[in-house]
Amino acid sequence: MSAGPPTSAAGAREPWGWLPQRLRPREAELPGSGRQWLIETTLLVLVGVLLAVATFNDVARQTGVNERLIADIATWRAYTGHPYHDLGVDQELLGANSRHEVVCGNTVPGAPKAKTQICLLVWGPVVAGRRTVHGGWYLPPRSEDARSERYGCFGSARAAGMCPP
Amino acid sequence: MSVAAQSELGLTRARSARWAPALASLLALLLIAATAEIVIDGAAGHSALIPKSPAIAGWLAGLGEPLGYRVFLIAMLLAAGAYGGLLALLRRTGAPAVSKHGAIALIGALHLIVFAGPVLLSTDVFSYIAYARMGVEHGLNPYLHGPASISHDPVFYYVGHVWRHVATAYGPLYTLLSYPFAPLGVEGALWGMKLLAQLASVGTLVLIWRCARVRGFDPVAAILAVGANPLYIVYGLGGAHNDLLMMLLMMVAVSLTLIGTPGARREAEAAAVVVAGALVKATVAVLLPFMILSRRRLAPIVGALAAVLLGGLIAYAAFGVHGVDIVAALNRDAAFVSTDSFANEIAHLFGKPGVFPVDHDLLKAGLVLIVLHLMWRTWRGYDWISASGWTLLAISVTSTWLLAWYILWPLPLAVISRDRRLIAATLFVQAMFVLHQIAPLLAPVQ
């Protein structure tokens, strides 16, 4: 028997002897030149960099979302003069990546959505902890923010026809 | 190495030997304090991080404030830092910075703290109890109905909203194992589940110790890397997840191939135990192809087939055809998307609002390529335990439904793997997971 690589099928009597040399199983890997290890490690590092960049980007994105939420709520409170905590912020209605938000809350004290609600369209940079109100509408008590329920649109909401005629 | 260099190294080691145990003790205390803070504040009442639960940790209630994101995240970051420091210290000093008794005391303390506290961060344990009570107390098949079908049962109040209409995705062996807990009532069953998680963890750590010794690794470092891991303790044990039982069976199978006299019988038993693990939680089945490829004998195939047959018959007898159809449940769960999944993060990175259906297909294709590469390498002599670990890590990274306890799966294999890149990659992925949680710390919403 020749002193070949440590395959389990060095000869024809071995169970895998019928396979070409390069396809035969081995009990242990050959030392090799390290080329495979280098390629794998490079790929792993690249995947690691992608995961790290994606993670940090997502943390920055979430932090930005949170900062906008804080500013949106402060803006609603300043605009209406009500220090309410139970406000609804919709970040999807005007486009998920638009950074334009709709903030809704009761016009008088009560359970969430139990009273007439005022919804404000808020966007723009955060200045002194607040953003700019560009318009809005009202909703009747116990109703969700659907176009059919809206009334009294003002500002950009009126111009964009966000209330039914 | 020159005599001067050897002498210098010896001096450094001697200096390290003096301060390393003290530093290790400090880091261990930090880990214990951070974990205790989470548990004590978790027991104090209303918190978004603590699921609704029977008052099993009432005696701790007066000691802390309700657990908020800020305290939780700071504690997790401190625990992760202490854990990383401890592992780095063990690696750097190359000496017993932590003794065997010290490591066991630290891991024991962390386990006891979590055992004494409330359920942390997940409602899953109440789903386990609900499925058990459906079968035992109400005569319903948990593979056909969700917990909503027992809305009058006291456990229903504690089941997570998302899961109330979902039939069980867990294996039939786990469902049958959970049945004896059902008559104990919700509180009794909860303690039973917590105890089961603890015992599974202890068993896993014992087997890791033995496997590490056989493979020539430091067993103290190996059990600390798993048993003091903050994700393992806080999320895994804290939530009493059945992943711990799956990991125990995974390590039993691995031990059978590493410890004792090798032979066809042990290989068949090891493969059968992998199948038993898959009948608890299907993921562990990924070990089978690598085990079979590394052995290239009939024994593991026969063992696996016998276990599949026996398990299938028991599952069919207990739950009918739905108890055997684990693939349907896996397909259902694979379609979910969690905010913590790397797939979701990468979608955001490229300006997409989230993961699209085509992304699911791309991720599955990527996973298949990785598994095929690892199978080929195993055929050509690569360590099958490492290949299994890489596959479990790849599953968690490519999953769109990533939860903290999923990235624990490869950890027991990583610490005994001959490919040291695996432990580095696993800990890196876990670190990224922890970092991804910190947004509420940077911009807390009131």
CA-based angle B76:A88:A144, to the nearest 5?
135
Which of B342, B351, B421 shows the shortest C-beta gap to A54?
B342
- CA dihedral angle for residue B21, residue B27, residue B30, residue B34, rounded to 10 degrees: -140
Q: Confirm whether A111 is domain-assigned.
A: yes
Q: Cα separation of B267 and B248, whole Å?
A: 17
* CB-based contact A67 B436, cutoff 8 Å: no
pLDDT at B17: 65
Residue B233 has a pLDDT of 97
User: What is the arithmetic mean of pLDDT over B279-307?
Assistant: 93
Q: Is A43 within a domain?
A: no
| Residue of B345, B375, B438, B441 for testing the chain A interface, max A β-carbons within 10 Å | B345
Cα within 13 Å of Cα(B411), Cβ side: 32
Check CB contact under 8 Å for B296 and A15.
yes
Q: Which two tokens stand for residue B80?
A: 């992760």
Q: State the Cα–Cα distance between residues B304 and A84, nearest whole angstrom.
A: 62
How high is the pLDDT of residue B14? Answer: 59
What distance in Å separates the CA atoms of residue B207 and residue B272, rounded to the nearest whole number?
Answer: 17
Nearest CA in chain A to B390: A44
Q: In this predicted complex, what is the ipTM?
A: 0.87
Question: What are the tens digits of pLDDT across the range B261-285?
Answer: 888 889 999 999 999 999 999 999 9
The whole-number pLDDT of residue A13 equals 58
**CA distance to partner chain A, nearest, from residue B356 (Å):** 15
Any domain includes A137: yes
Q: Could you tell me the pLDDT band of residue B325, with boundaries at 50, 70 and 90?
A: confident
What DSSP state is assigned to residue B407? G
pLDDT-derived band at B342, boundaries 50, 70, 90: very high
Averaged over B77-86, what is the pLDDT? Answer: 95
Answer whether B54's CB lies under 8 Å from B186's CB. yes
CA B397 to chain CA mean position, Å? 14
The answer to whether the Cβ–Cβ distance between B349 and A54 falls below 8 Å is yes
Backbone angles phi, psi at B354, to 5 degrees: 180, -165
Write out pLDDT tens, residues A61-103. 888 888 888 899 999 999 999 888 888 888 778 877 778 889 9
Q: How far apart are CA B32 and CA B29, in angstroms?
A: 5
Inside any domain, residue A77: yes
Q: Provide the Cα torsion B191, B205, B24, B49; round to 10°.
A: -40
Query: What is residue B408's predicted lDDT score, i.e. its pLDDT?
Result: 96
- CB contact (8 A) between residue B381 and residue A15: no
B residues 370-409 closer than 8 Å to A (CB): 377, 379-382, 397
Is B438 part of the contact surface with chain A (CB cutoff 8 Å)?
yes
For A94-108, how does the pLDDT look when each residue is reduced to its tens digit (9 = 90+)? 877 778 889 999 998
Chain A and chain B share a number of CB contacts under 8 A equal to 84
| Cβ distance of A66 and B444 shorter than 8 Å | yes
What's the pLDDT band for A1 if we cut at 50, 70, 90?
very low
Residues 6+ apart with CB under 8 A from A113: A88, A106, A139, A141, A142, A143, A144
Write down the pLDDT at residue B428.
97
Q: What is the pLDDT of residue A10?
A: 43
The tens digit of pLDDT for each residue in B362-409 reads: 999 999 999 999 999 999 889 999 999 999 999 999 998 888 999 999
Can you name the residues that pair with A105 across neighbouring β-strands?
A118
- Give the domain extent around A144: 60-159
Rounded to the nearest angstrom, the minimum Cα separation between A136 and chain B is: 23
* Amino acid identity at A75: T
Average pLDDT, chain B: 90
Return the amino acid letter for B135: G
**Mean pLDDT on A150-154:** 92
The whole-model pTM stands at 0.86
Q: What is the mean pLDDT of residues A133-161?
A: 90
Buried/exposed B418-431: b ≥16 CB within 10 Å, e otherwise: ebebbbebbbbbbe
pLDDT at B311 over 70: yes
Describe the crossing of helices B243-258 and B287-295 by its angle, rounded to 10 degrees. 0
Give the residues across from A26 on adjacent strands: A7
- A51 and B342 in contact by Cβ < 8 A? yes
Q: Which of A51, A63, A85 to mutate to test the interface with B (most CBs of B within 10 A)?
A: A51
Q: How many CA atoms lie within 13 A of B433 on its CB side?
A: 26
Chain A residue with the nearest C-alpha to that of B348: A58
Cα B191 to Cα B211: distance, rounded to the nearest angstrom: 30
Whether the pLDDT of residue A11 is over 50: the answer is no
> Measured between alpha carbons, how far is A50 from B423 in angstroms, rounded to an integer?
19
Q: Provide the domain count of chain A.
A: 1
- Residue A7, pLDDT > 50, answer no
Alpha helices (H) along chain A: 35-80, 156-159
Q: How far is CA B300 from CA A130, B16, B297, B382, in A?
A: 66, 47, 7, 18
Q: How far is A7 from chain B (nearest CA, A)?
A: 8
pLDDT digits (tens, 9 = 90+) for A101-139: 899 999 988 888 889 999 999 998 888 889 999 999 999
With contact defined as beta carbons under 8 Å apart, do A121 and A156 qualify? Answer: yes
Q: What is the pLDDT of residues B232-243, one digit of tens each?
A: 999 999 999 999
A2 pLDDT higher than 50? no
Nearest C-alpha of chain A: how many angstroms from B404?
Answer: 15
Per-residue pLDDT band at B22 (split at 50, 70, 90): confident
Residues of B in contact with A62 (CB under 8 A): 439, 443
In a 3-state reduction of DSSP, which class is residue B260?
Answer: coil
SS3 string, B90-109, reads: HHHHCCCCCCHHHHHHHHHH
Q: Residue B289 and residue A3: Cα distance in Å, rounded?
A: 30
* Structure-token match 């042990």, residue found: B266
Of residues B359, B310, B52, the one with CA closest to residue B172: B310
Q: Is A141 within a domain?
A: yes
Tell me the pLDDT tens digit for each residue of B143-169: 988 999 999 999 999 999 888 888 898
- Among residues of chain A, what percentage have pLDDT more than 90? 38
What phi and psi, each to the nearest 5 degrees, are found at residue A59? -65, -45
pLDDT tier for residue B434 given thresholds of 50, 70 and 90:
very high
- DSSP-based three-state secondary structure for A20: coil
Would A37 be classed as within a structural domain? no
Of A28, A61, A66, the CB nearest to B445: A66
Does B348 touch chain A if contact means CB atoms closer than 8 Å? yes
Q: How many CB atoms lie within 10 A of CB B216?
A: 8
pLDDT band at B12 (very low <50, low <70, confident <90, very high): low
**All residues at 6 or more sequence positions from B52 whose CB lies less than 8 Å from its CB, including other chains:** B123, B157, B158
Residue A5, domain member (yes or no): no
Closest residue in chain A to residue B428, using alpha carbons only: A48
Decide if B381 and A48 are in contact by the 8 Å CB cutoff: no
Q: Which of B296, B428, B442 sits opposite A48 (nearest CB)?
A: B428
Nearest to A29 among B293, B382, B397 (CB): B382
Contact call for residues A14 and A5 (beta carbons, < 8 A): no
The Cα-based distances of B6 to A70, B10, B12, B57, B178 in angstroms read 60, 6, 10, 55, 58
How far B382 CA sits from the closest chain A CA (Å)?
A: 6
Please indicate whether, in this complex, the C-beta atoms of B381 and A30 are within 8 angstroms of each other. yes
Whole-angstrom distance, CA of residue B72 vs CA of residue B39: 10
How confident is the model at residue B4, as a pLDDT?
54
Residue A17 lies in a domain: no
CB B271 within 8 A of CB B288: yes
| Buried b or exposed e, range A94-104, using 16+ CB within 10 angstroms | beeeebbbbbb
pLDDT of amino acid B112: 96
CA distances from B165 to B146, B160, B174, B288 (A): 4, 10, 20, 32
∠ CA A24-B388-B271 to the nearest 5 degrees? 80
Residue A60 CA to residue B162 CA, distance in Å, equals 28
Q: What is the pLDDT of residue B365?
A: 94
